[in-house]
C-alpha cells in the first residue's frame, strides 16, 4: 500500500541532490540511504578480510598493470 509523507523543502532539496538520474524516485533514494546505514553481513565482513589478506600478500594488480595488459 502506497502512502504519502510530508517533508520539509530543505529535505526535498537534499533528496534531489542525491538523485543519480531524473527518473530515480525518492523511495529509491531513501532505500539506498537505509542500505548504507545497515550493518555489513558476516559474509561481507569475511570477504573484506580475505581481500585485505590478499592485498597484504601482494596478490593484486594495479590499475597501471591492468591498463598495460589490456593495451590501454
Domain ranges (residues) in the chain: 11-70
Residue pair 29/19 in contact by the 8 Å Cβ criterion: yes
- Asked if residue 63 has pLDDT above 90, the reply is yes
> In this predicted model, what pLDDT tens digit does every residue of 5-43 receive, in sequence order?
899 999 999 999 999 999 999 999 999 999 888 888 899
Query: What's the CA gap between 26 and 63, in Å, rounded?
Result: 35
Calculate the CA 70 to chain-centre distance: 27
Residue pair 51/41 in contact by the 8 Å Cβ criterion: no
Quick one: cell of 45? 565482513
Residue pair 29/12 in contact by the 8 Å Cβ criterion: no
Q: Tell me the whole-structure pTM to 2 decimals.
A: 0.52
Residue pair 3/13 in contact by the 8 Å Cβ criterion: no
Amino acid at each position: 500500500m502506497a502512502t504519502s509523507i510530508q517533508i520539509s523543502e530543505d529535505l526535498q532539496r537534499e533528496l534531489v541532490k542525491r538523485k543519480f538520474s531524473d527518473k530515480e524516485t525518492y523511495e529509491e533514494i531513501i532505500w539506498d540511504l537505509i542500505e548504507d546505514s545497515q550493518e555489513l553481513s558476516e559474509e561481507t565482513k569475511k570477504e573484506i578480510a580475505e581481500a585485505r589478506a590478499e592485498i597484504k600478500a601482494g596478490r593484486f594488480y594495479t590499475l597501471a598493470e591492468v591498463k598495460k595488459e589490456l593495451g590501454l
